[in-house]
Structure 1
Amino acid sequence: MAFLGALPARFRRERVLIVGCGDVGLRCAALLGGGQGPGQGRVRLLALTSSPQRLPDLRLAGVTPLLGDLDRPETLARLAGLATRVLHLAPPPGGMGGPGDSVVSAGLDPRSRALAQALGRRSAPYKLVYGSTSGVYGDCAGQWVSETRTPQPSTARAQRRLDAERTWRDWGRRRGVDVSLLRIPGIYGGGRPGGAQARLLRGTPVLCPEDDVFTNHIHADDLARACLRALWCRAPQRAFNVCDDTDLRMGDYFDLAADLYGLARPARITRKQAEQQLSPALLSFMSESRRLRNQRMQRELRLVLRFPSVWQGLKG
């Protein structure tokens, strides 16, 4: 940041690189491009994509696309020294028979390691924000969870996210980069695919009250705003729970969504029935119960939620 601060304001221009520019990344780009984010229109937007088919859409969104693949580190050389701030929203690989599967099965994230190596070849960015998951906490038996709780991920997916967190924390300390970690729960809102309405229309059941789990949520628009707050916030190696103020069990969330959308409430089944009827992926979300505290996000990122509850977010 030193050389930018030494320049007259009219010459300062940040270069923000979005890695994993999907739905949330595009929302961030729209805020920055429209002068609504902390950059105040002084930002050149860049996005890494492995898909040539996405180039026109990214350009249309006011983003300069860069072809590169996190699974092919040799394609990332051009990222060195390119950005002043990096928003990393790309997930780890899924471990489904792809390249580097032995590393993935060990609970590691080779994508974050490849990106860290590429960014460190020349002058590193001043700030990096990594979008992690609240799944790193594992099952907390419905307890309230703050960022000081020791992570205990119980799924391979969450273990890879925790490995990515450690990669970026260590890299930030070594390179003198301000790294912030956003621990993100279920994202909803704004017509995202696979949302509550789609699940209700499919007739997917939920757990009965005695077996149900607490769940946490964040509206996609509020998440984008949190990402930008974190990009411009001084918070070295700091983790943030990024969630709204809702305190609901999963079944009650879908009941609320059904009532608001005018749809039938989902059937309630026991955990034993769920194990027989539902996919392992869906069962994993029904096997962890926690309630996230978001005071650090509100106090340090100074984020005022536009959708503080799912009732407001689903209704909107």
Structure 2
Amino acid sequence: MQKVSGFQWPRRLLIVGCGDVLSRALPWLSRRFRVLATARSPESAARLRALGVVPVCADLDHPTTLRRLGGLADLVIHGAPPPASGQRDPRSRRLVAALAHRAKRPSLAQRLRRAVYLGTSGIYGDCAGAWVAETRPPQPASDRARRRLDAERTLRAWARRQRVGLALLRVPGIYAAKRLPLARVERGDVCIERDDDSYSNHIHADDLARAVCAALFRGRPLRSYHINDDLPLKMGDWFDLVADAHALPRPPRVGRAEARARLTPAMVSYLDESRRLDNRRAKRELRLRLAYPSALSLLAQHAKSTG
């Protein structure tokens, strides 16, 4: 077993929802644990095998497929999103029900020790551009955020009952070289005039993967953490930077009322929320060191490579 500060760490890790971000964490995780991950299809299982992961056929939308999960691992990373509609997250409810099934199997009753959940900073709703710490009460303004808050509450209740050390990561917009809003910029979608624009927060996918790994070892039980870089940006400024780095025209700026009329309801819901996330707790407790302190770091790399 892995030893950390005299503590004997377990070997089996289950990832629920192994997408791009958690795939980036696999090289580090696979050196320390036997990694298993849920797979919803044969194609997903094949992809996981190619990454050196043991696939477990399980679909959070089909409870009968989850029976094997109870007692399967010592640690869990939950990265599966909620469904696309509703105000609750039935997927997280089904997952904790399956994981709690271990309590009925005495030989495995104490096996699951720690868990990490990848949620969203959207649960705070609009904060009028204020700096936000993890102690701020959630006030979700969209069903998308309400589903995420429901997931957090479901997982907290489960972790208390089962005595699992749960770390909750509140994540803003994720970017990487192939995860930039280029299509939006190329379409010329409008942005709000700067004086009336909203703040957004970001994190590079690699830094988020590092934060997940750190939270497995260092996250305090039932503790939430903001996982974001050091530079909140006005949304229009973010799109301008992406445009400049790719030699594209900057999006046109309009008033907020006109933007609401010209953009999709989903995009308007993001524009109507403004906050700046304080990431000091993650740096202090998780000892998170950012490879990308701001999105400027990545965009400067791109500009240099194409210049």
Q: TM > 0.5 between the two?
A: yes
1:80 aligns with 2:60: no
For 2:131 and 2:201, the matched residues in 1 are separated by 11
For 1:198 and 1:51, the matched residues in 2 are separated by 29
Which residue is 1:205 aligned to? 190
Equivalent AA in structure 1 for residue 232 of structure 2 = D
Which residue is 1:149 aligned to? 136
What are the residue-to-residue correspondences of 1:10-25 with 2, within 5 Å?
14-25=11-22
For 2:183 and 2:261, the matched residues in 1 are separated by 22
Residue 28 of structure 1 and its aligned partner are, at CA, apart by 1.4
SS in 2 for 1:120: helix
Equivalent AA in structure 1 for residue 146 of structure 2 = Q
Equivalent AA in structure 2 for residue 84 of structure 1 = D
1:114 aligns with 2:94: yes
Which residue is 1:135 aligned to? 122
1:90 aligns with 2:80: yes
Which residue is 1:183 aligned to? 170
Which residue is 2:239 aligned to? 254
Q: How many aligned residue pairs are there?
A: 292
Q: Deviations over 1:20-77 (max 9, x none)?
A: 11111211113323xxxxxxx2311111121221121110111111111101111100
1:130 and 1:180 in contact (8 A); partners too? yes
Which residue is 1:101 aligned to? none
For 1:119 and 1:190, the matched residues in 2 are separated by 36
SS in 1 for 2:189: coil
Which residue is 1:291 aligned to? 276
Q: Percent identity?
A: 51
Equivalent AA in structure 2 for residue 252 of structure 1 = D
Q: Match for 1:27 among 24, 27, 49?
A: 24
SS in 2 for 1:121: helix
SS in 1 for 2:218: coil
Q: Deviations over 1:124-158 (max 9, x none)?
A: 51111111100000000000000000000000010
Q: TM-score, normalised by structure 2?
A: 0.91
Structure 1: runs of 5+ lacking an equivalent: 34-40, 96-104
Residue 13 of structure 1 and its aligned partner are, at CA, apart by 5.4
Q: Tell me which stretches of 4 or more aligned residues in structure 1 moved more than 4 Å.
A: none
1:190 and 1:220 in contact (8 A); partners too? no
Which residue is 2:305 aligned to? none
1:200 and 1:254 in contact (8 A); partners too? yes
SS in 1 for 2:137: coil
For 1:70 and 1:115, the matched residues in 2 are separated by 7
For 2:257 and 2:219, the matched residues in 1 are separated by 47
Residue 4 of structure 1 and its aligned partner are, at CA, apart by 7.8
